[in-house]
Amino acid sequence: GDSVTQMEGPVTLSEEAFLTINCTYTATGYPSLFWYVQYPGEGLQLLLKATKADDKGSNKGFEATYRKETTSFHLEKGSVQVSDSAVYFCALSVSLGGKLIFGQGTELSVKP
């Protein structure tokens, strides 16, 4: 079945470090791909999305490129801030109804 696998956390970085969170997927058909973020005490928020191969989603300095050949959608940011500390979820959608299939989440902790 369709699934998403993320790198395990927690990931701990110093401020201004480079961030990569790996995400790979298995899907029948052509999924849309998403990154959601959950800040402490808050609900899930859409961070970025890509709907077809080679699309790059970007928002708030984060980027992810839809790679069909490697079935990946890795999240990157050039310089993280303490305020980026959160749990990041990779997700896909293949159905007409748009239901999301999530990875297990990766906790990011950024230290000053």
The residues that touch other proteins, with contacts defined as CB under 8 A, are 4, 32, 34, 36, 42-46, 49, 51, 89, 91, 93, 95, 97-105
Beta carbon nearer to other proteins, 93 or 108: 93
Beta carbon nearer to other proteins, 62 or 89: 89
Beta carbon nearer to other proteins, 18 or 68: 68
- Residues 6+ positions from 81 with CB-CB distance below 8 Å: 15, 16, 110
Q: Are 38 and 31 in contact (CB under 8 A)?
A: no
Beta carbon nearer to other proteins, 49 or 77: 49
**Measured from the CB of residue 16, what is the shortest distance to other proteins in angstroms?**
28
**Measured from the CB of residue 107, what is the shortest distance to other proteins in angstroms?**
9
**Measured from the CB of residue 99, what is the shortest distance to other proteins in angstroms?**
5
**Measured from the CB of residue 51, what is the shortest distance to other proteins in angstroms?**
6
Terminal CA-to-CA distance of the chain, rounded, Å?
Answer: 41
Q: Are 22 and 6 in contact (CB under 8 A)?
A: yes
